[in-house]
């Protein structure tokens, strides 16, 4: 069975697509068969990596025509396939809304790919809507990047927990809402990571208690994540080493993968002919 993770937040611009792409790239370099699904009408994930072989169709046909043939493109990263977002007008939102099984379709369709993939990652748009619902309901596990400011974190909790609460009844239709893991994301040196993590986990953050599990891995804010995206490569390849107190992207993303997938802890990533391009060590943070 493929493990399905939806990267979601009701807040925009928090790092969902970057996190999805980098997790997908590292998991592929760990030898996993990975499918990334771009469920955002703004096709940012679709253009994150170079496409090796472009399928004639994408997400629109997957959901509206209920077919998995001809909708899966391959990337230039061995082991990483992608369902491209091909609905710039956003017609799919309306289609899902008016289809009796609209919101649970993606879940049922992806279960048809259980033998073909080890891990399926679904990127979503940072706004509530039928397509986001469909992506959330397709997941075994939800992953949310959380900005390390307590106010926006609280706002995140209200929005995202509200969304989970609203979708809870879908369990009766065979689509239970998965547990949610939060990862403190884009941490900079001006903040005390432990203090924010503690606040998020504990009393001052009562709305989330029991509903959101905050991971130990903290993803720092560094230019490597932007540079790697510019060069269309996974950040662990781009910044395998780094000097100074901040963890390298390779170390950070590896820790995150181990936390999310303990059964992969023994694996080390390797990437073939394309040598990692290691930039000059950067001072401080972006
Ligand atoms: N760890 C990081 N450090 C610094 N910048 C980052 C990091 N991760 C992502 N970014 C930058 O933050 C911006 C937003 O990231 P991204 O597009 O992944 O967010 P998003 O949640 O997918 O946004 P949207 O809601 O619009 O889809 C991008 O410019 C990206 O390059
Ligand atoms: Mg995005």
pLDDT tens digits for range 174-185: 888 888 898 999
Please give the model's pTM, rounded to 2 decimal places. Answer: 0.92
Pairing state of beta strands 212-220 and 73-75? unpaired
Spatial separation of the C-alpha atoms in residues 210 and 198, rounded to whole Å: 14
What is the CATH number that goes with domain 3-87+95-264? Answer: 3.40.50.300
Q: Where do runs of H (alpha helix) occur along 58-127?
A: 59-64, 91-98, 102-111
**Neighbouring C-alpha atoms within 13 Å toward the C-beta of 112:** 10
Q: What's the gap in Å between 105 CA and the centre of ligand 2?
A: 22
Ligand 1 atom with the smallest distance to the CA of 229 is 31
pLDDT value of residue 71: 98
Q: What are the sequence ranges of the domains in the chain?
A: 3-87+95-264
Q: How far is CA 179 from CA 1, 136, 210, in A?
A: 18, 10, 10
3 state DSSP class of 165: helix
Taking only the tens of pLDDT, the chain with its 286 residues reads 999 999 998 888 999 999 999 999 999 999 999 999 999 999 999 999 999 999 999 999 999 999 999 999 999 999 999 999 999 888 999 999 999 999 999 999 999 999 999 999 999 998 889 999 999 999 999 999 988 887 777 777 778 878 888 888 888 878 888 888 989 999 887 767 677 777 776 644 555 555 678 899 999 999 999 999 999 999 999 999 999 989 999 999 999 999 999 999 999 999 975 544 444 444 444 3
Provide the residues around ligand 2 (an ion) whose CB is within 5 A.
16-17, 44
pLDDT value of residue 207: 54
Any residues with CB less than 8 A from the CB of 253 and at least 6 apart, and which?
22, 23, 26, 234, 235, 236
Ligand 1 atom with the smallest distance to the CA of 220 is 1
Q: Is 12 in the pocket of ligand 1 (CB under 6 A)?
A: yes
Helix (H) or strand (E) holding 226: helix 223-230
């Amino acid at each position: 069975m493929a493990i399905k993770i939806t990267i979601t937040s009701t807040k925009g611009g928090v790092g969902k697509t970057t996190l999805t792409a980098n997790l997908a790239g590292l998991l592929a370099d760990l030898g996993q068969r990975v499918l990334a699904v771009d469920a955002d009408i703004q096709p940012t994930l679709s253009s994150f990596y170079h496409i090796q072989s472009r399928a004639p169709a994408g997400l629109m046909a997957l959901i509206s025509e209920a077919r998995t043939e001809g909708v899966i493109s391959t990337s230039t990263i061995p082991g990483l396939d992608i369902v491209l977002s091909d609905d710039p007008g956003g017609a799919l939102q309306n289609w899902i809304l008016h289809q009796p099984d609209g919101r649970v379709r993606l879940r049922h369709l992806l279960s048809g790919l259980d033998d073909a993939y080890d891990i399926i990652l679904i990127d979503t748009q940072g706004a509530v809507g039928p397509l986001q619902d469909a992506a959330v309901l397709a997941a075994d596990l939800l992953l949310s990047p959380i900005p390390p400011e307590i106010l926006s974190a609280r706002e995140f909790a209200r929005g995202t927990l509200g969304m989970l609460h609203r979708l809870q009844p879908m369990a009766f239709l065979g689509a239970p809402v998965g547990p949610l893991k939060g990862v403190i994301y884009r941490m900079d040196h001006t903040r005390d990571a432990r203090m924010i993590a503690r606040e998020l986990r504990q009393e001052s953050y009562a709305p989330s208690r029991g509903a959101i599990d905050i991971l130990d891995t903290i993803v720092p804010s560094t230019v490597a994540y932007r540079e790697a995206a510019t060069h269309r490569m996974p950040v662990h390849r781009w910044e395998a080493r780094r000097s100074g107190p901040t963890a390298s992207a390779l170390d950070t993303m590896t820790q995150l993968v181990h936390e999310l997938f303990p059964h992969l802890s023994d694996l080390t990533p390797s990437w073939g002919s394309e040598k990692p391009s290691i930039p000059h060590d950067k001072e401080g943070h972006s």
